[in-house]
Structure 1
Amino acid sequence: MGLFSEIWNSVKNKNRSIDVSGYSALFSAEASLGIKSVALEACVTYLARLISKGKFVFKDGNSIIASDFDYALNVKPNPNQTASEFKIAMVKKLLNGELLVVKDGDRFYVADNFITHYSLNGNSFSNVFINFDENNVVLSDSGLSTQKYFEKVFTQGVDCFHLTNDNIELQKYIDSLWKDYGKMFGILITNQLRVGQLRAKIDIPVNSKLDDDERKKLQRRFATTLFEKMKRDPVVFIPADGPSKSSYEEISANKSASLQNQITDFGNLRKVFIGEVAGLLGIPPALVLGETANNSENLDLAIEAAAIPLGNKLSEGFTSLLIRKSGYKVGKTLEMTGFKTINILDRADAIDKVGSSGVIKINEVREAAGLSPIEDGDRIIMTKNYTKEGENSENS
């Protein structure tokens, strides 16, 4: 339900005396949208940065091979973005719902807007807009135009690929629980605004007598006005019944000052939001919150549960564009690796054992360590202590 729908429903509500103006719905929605944006942006940005460290690698079997698209995917996919910016844009689009990547020659773009045409033979996409700068929007005869507009129609698997976010639980969570947390956050803000508020009683003599109906109307008017002022004004005068002459009595702010400062509650509520979203994305909340305890283990969990699955989806999308069916049959693949930088000095013993035992090739060891392949690296080396008597120490 949208913001204005909430306001309209609050106005139509039978109990109109509570909030005819719709201010409560507006206030709650504003608080909800604010903290929702912070939590989602924190978690999605962290995951996007993690995946941006990955590198697309073309392989023939277990051997890394060169490709004409190495530069585009790992250095500069288009004139306006680096590879890292491009990967971050892809992840954010995908996690927000859907992603369309279009291929224009040897360039790749993330679409901002498009129209989908569904077909059993492959969906097609028209009216594809690309916008690298949200401020770069101009008004033309056809309406708002972005920086780049493709007049051609793109076809799935031919010159584009389209992915959707299959994390249904995340979408359900966003739709059902943000409103409840927003109400809680709105209450915290309201309470915080009242901390230290100066209030005073004031008596105003009334010479004429009022009948019961007029007195009730006046009380309701005072109550509404007073409630609004207490929410926004630093100093509030409270009408009170008293003697016939005017008087003023200041209420000490000590009582208000004694209320617990709820700024810390904001931080705790933010942690609740981030924890929920991070859990649904497969990221340990401690990573997003910047906590250093068990950081290495948490990073391994995030890579295994979140980065690798998303990396596989992106790799499959590019595979459908860049590798033909005939090539795939003979073992050509496209993978995304290198999400974690490994300190080779700390892992020297493990690297030595796995490399010298003849289990995997040199370039495979380098790939696992986050290093680029070398020209003569697609061979196996086995040291003498791992070989049988009479065998060569090096097998290629």
Structure 2
Amino acid sequence: MGLLDIFTKNYDEIDFMYDIDLLEDTSDRIYYKKLAIATCVNLIARTISQSEFRIKKKGIVQHDEFYYRMNVKPNRNQSASEFWDMFVYKLIHDNEVLIIKTDSDDLLIADDFSRTEYAMMDDVFREVTVKNYTFRRTFLSSDVIYIPYNNEDLSRLINSLYADYGELFGRMLEFQLHNNQIRATVDTESAHAKDKDTSTKLQNFINRMYEAVKKKTFAIVPQQKGFTYKEESNRASASVDEINKITNGFLDHVARALGIPPALVRGEMADVEKSTRNFMTFGIDPIIKKIKDEFSGKFIEKQDYLSGDRLDIRRPSYRDLFDLASAVDKLVSSSAFTGNEVREAAGYEHSDDELLDKHIITKNYTELADLLEGGDKE
């Protein structure tokens, strides 16, 4: 709506009017909530996607079809990192995730499905949809990977927080924009407003003047007879830091709900190792435990599991191997652990070197049995 339209519309009937078109409803700033959730979920997804999934039989990692599917190519359209990114997003955002196996051994994450629960029988999954394809067949719980997040209150918590923080954020942002807005009044003689041709010329002149004021550092407004331009901008200052405090406050609450130290999502470097350790312990390990339990029950037979077969998930380490050198030396040289036990604890494969299966002691790495016998074997 042009500025002069207010004066030309029913000008002869009223002196002042308020046009509803000038009032704009502030839209919900949903991006504010999405940004906080995406920041936290992406951090968890990036961490888990770097993990290595493997099955160990008698301590030996099996490089088989399962290893390839979990770490390289779960299906023909996704890499392993893309697969696990989507897995984490579905798990946290939807509070559950369903993985089905096709006849070609592809692993697919369902976009939508319906679940019928039973007490004494397998749950049944119907209308399983992946992208734009809906399977006609039904799936039993014993044939799929189904992991609930069991945190239904998370969405309710985030929505409740957003209702308060979002309103406060919107008010602060509007206040900031209001204080920096350029406002002006234009006085015209009544004759100009009644003359349609003159009104059109004045409207075009005002439009060009507005664009000049908005885009140019210096704008000169020529004075016209019967036309007065007066700027009445509010130059009161508002702190952007106050807006940032609101956004960080909401982000902190979402991060804590997902087991992430707030300092980590804000990128603070102070005590980053401690924050990372807490994140891995309280944010990543619980999710990995859910994955390990469900996958173990579906990919390892009961007898094999009781015989020692295990699903091992080697998550990314937040410490460099060389940072552990002193601790490894103490563990091995004190005879508390063998070399292979330390290797497995650090996430590395079992070595065939027989020396790494022996308990050794002292700086000279003497075998414990020889030391007791009074020997000095290096």
Q: TM-score scaled by structure 2?
A: 0.73
> Which residue, out of 366, 373, 378, partners 1:390?
373
> Which residue, out of 230, 241, 254, partners 1:250?
230
Amino acid at match of 2:124: S
Amino acid at match of 2:115: T
CA contact (8 A) 1:109 1:130 kept: yes
Query: 1:369/1:65 Cα in 2 relative to 1: closer, same or farther (>3 Å)?
Result: closer
Matching residue of 1:57 = 54
Percent of pairs with identical residues: 30
> Which residue, out of 194, 197, 204, partners 2:178?
194
Query: 1:43/1:188 Cα in 2 relative to 1: closer, same or farther (>3 Å)?
Result: same
CA deviations 1:5-58 (Å, max 9, x no partner) are xxxxxxxxxxxx9x999954xx352x1x11000000000100111122222232
Matching residue of 2:277 = 300
CA contact (8 A) 1:104 1:159 kept: no
Please say if 1:170 is aligned against 2:154: yes
Structure 1 residue 66: deviation in Å? Answer: 1.6
CA contact (8 A) 1:382 1:393 kept: no
Amino acid at match of 2:184: A
The aligned length equals 319
Amino acid at match of 2:372: E
CA deviations 1:305-335 (Å, max 9, x no partner) are 0101100101111112101222223232213
CA contact (8 A) 1:170 1:280 kept: yes
For 1:331 and 1:47, the matched residues in 2 are separated by 30
Alignment partner of 1:346: what SS?
Answer: helix
Amino acid at match of 1:48: A
For 1:280 and 1:102, the matched residues in 2 are separated by 29
Bigger shift: residues 310-319 or 327-336:
327-336
Bigger shift: residues 353-362 or 375-384:
375-384
What are structure 2's unaligned runs of at least 5 residues? 1-17, 192-212, 215-225
For 2:350 and 2:85, the matched residues in 1 are separated by 25
For 1:378 and 1:60, the matched residues in 2 are separated by 21
Amino acid at match of 1:151: R
Matching residue of 1:260 = 238
For 1:281 and 1:377, the matched residues in 2 are separated by 44
> Which residue, out of 74, 84, 92, partners 1:95?
92
Bigger shift: residues 305-314 or 51-60:
51-60
Matching residue of 2:11 = none
CA deviations 1:191-246 (Å, max 9, x no partner) are 23223323334567889xxxxxxxxxxxxxxxxxxxxxxxxx97xxxxxxxxxxx7
For 1:257 and 1:363, the matched residues in 2 are separated by 70
For 2:353 and 2:31, the matched residues in 1 are separated by 54
Structure 1 residue 291: deviation in Å? Answer: 1.2
Structure 1 residue 370: deviation in Å? Answer: 4.3
Structure 1 residue 284: deviation in Å? Answer: 0.7
CA deviations 1:321-371 (Å, max 9, x no partner) are 101222223232213233315322222111122234444454442344344
Matching residue of 1:154 = 139
Query: 1:168/1:116 Cα in 2 relative to 1: closer, same or farther (>3 Å)?
Result: closer
> Which residue, out of 232, 254, 257, partners 1:280?
257
Residues 215-364 of structure 1 mapped to structure 2, 5 A cutoff:
248=228, 250-253=230-233, 256-262=234-240, 264-364=241-341
Structure 1 residue 95: deviation in Å? Answer: 0.6
What do you get for the CA RMSD once the two structures are aligned? 3.4
CA contact (8 A) 1:282 1:306 kept: yes
Matching residue of 1:127 = 127
